[in-house]
Amino acid sequence: MFQKAMSHQWSRLLTAVFGTFLCAAAVNLFIVPQKLYTGGMLGTCQVIRTVLSTYCGLTVTAFDLAGVLYFVLNIPLFWLAWRGLGRRFVVNTVICTACSSLFLMLITAPATPIIEDTLTSCLVGGIIGGFGSGLILTCGCSSGGLDVVGLYLSKKGKGFTVGKFSITYNAVLFAACLLLFNVSTVLYSVIFIVFSSLFMDRSHQQNITVQVLIFTKHKEPDLPHFIMEQLERGVTFWEGHGGYTGDELRVLCVCVSKYEIETLQSAVHDLDPNAFFIVQEGVRVGGNFDRKLS
């Protein structure tokens, strides 16, 4: 059912918005009550909020100032996304970033932690937040922040993941935070971001490459054209014969991201209901293989 939803643009966008809600809920319900920081662009905004409140006396009680700062600081990154990640991705990113900021402002952090144990809060928050982030990226969207920079770099470099970039950035951020906060706060914040980053990579299906072999008697160019024009993937095919019947058939080979499988299967079924599939997940791909983002 999830894969079917991924084949429709509006379903992907709504699922991504739900992912932004999960991320905001994870932060405000499990991390903020423990007086911890999330890292990344939002963590940077939280640090700025704390500095403004502690050293400048600027306190906003009506809403969370970090949510507003998060949207403002993302504006320059929209240009980066427009330049390297595609127009549709930029539109989805603006929508998801606006929703993320809105949820961060509306979801009120409880005065006392929901879970008293700090480590357990980091674990639960990391799992929920990481799953939400992976969901957003799988839908071809982004909630802004480091996701945009990480996706841009992952598109340019082989073997580079958004989670790895997030961990690297946060190592620098939390090293700087040692000058402002106590060691315990920094260590628990690091634990949260590691859990979140690892779970994000696990749930980000665009990091999973799938090889598909399609055996069909349909000789028209409709299917190769669909793969190349709609999925924007290269496809190789050769002529074969059935071992039992001796009938001529065509074998198509294509590598796609996991979330594109449902779209491909639906197209093949429409053109040839009798086609046969072989799907192999987690294959290693070298050379010119584009990491699709939308």
CATH code for the domain of 214: 3.30.70.120
Tell me, yes or no, whether 131 and 239 share the same domain.
Answer: no
200 with 213, same domain: the answer is: no
Contact 264, 270 (CB under 8 A): no
How far apart are the C-alpha atoms of 155 and 139, rounded to whole Å?
16
Instruction: Say if residue 141 is in the same domain as residue 47.
Output: yes
Q: Contact 216/272 with Cβ under 8 angstroms?
A: yes
**Does 182 reside within a domain?**
yes
Q: What is the pTM of this model?
A: 0.66
Torsion of CA 12, 143, 202, 131, to 10 degrees: -80
Residue 286 lies in a domain: no
- What residue ranges in the chain does DSSP mark as E strands? 209-216, 236-241, 248-257, 276-281
Q: Say whether both 138 and 216 belong to one domain.
A: no
| 132 & 257 share domain | no
Q: Are residues 110 and 214 in the same domain?
A: no
pLDDT, residue 205, reads 52
Last residue of a domain, one of 150, 171, 206: 206
Number of domains in the chain: 2
Residue 236 and residue 118 share a domain: no
The tokens describing 80, both together, are 């980066």
Residues 124 and 47 in one domain: yes
| 169-184: pLDDT as tens digits | 777 888 878 877 778 8
pLDDT of 5 reads 52
Last residue of a domain, one of 160, 181, 206: 206
Tell me which of 188, 206, 224 is where a domain ends: 206
58 with 10, same domain? yes
Residue-wise pLDDT tens digits, 253-267: 888 776 677 677 777
Q: Is residue 294 part of a domain?
A: no
Asked if residue 45 is part of any domain, the answer here is yes
What is the structure's pLDDT at 162?
A: 60
In angstroms, rounded to a whole number, what is the distance separating the alpha carbons of residues 262 and 236?
Answer: 20
Residues 115 and 258 in one domain: no
Q: Are residues 82 and 179 in the same domain?
A: yes
113 shares its domain with 177: yes
Q: Is residue 292 part of a domain?
A: no
Query: Across the 294 residues of the chain, what is the mean pLDDT of every consecutive 10-residue run?
Result: 56 86 91 85 82 69 72 82 71 85 86 89 90 80 73 62 70 79 84 80 62 83 79 81 82 77 76 82 62 49
- For 256, residues 6+ apart whose C-beta sits below 8 A from its C-beta are 209, 210, 212, 231, 233, 264
- Whether 154 is in a domain gets the answer yes
Domain of residue 264 covers 208-281
Domain-located, residue 289: no
Identify the pLDDT of residue 286.
60
Distance CA 15, CA 139 (A): 7
Q: What is the pLDDT of residue 288?
A: 57
pLDDT of residue 7: 52
Residue 220, judged by CB atoms within 10 A of its CB (0-12, 13-18, 19+), counts as: exposed
Give the pLDDT confidence score for residue 206 in this predicted structure. 53
The reply to whether 147 falls in a domain is yes
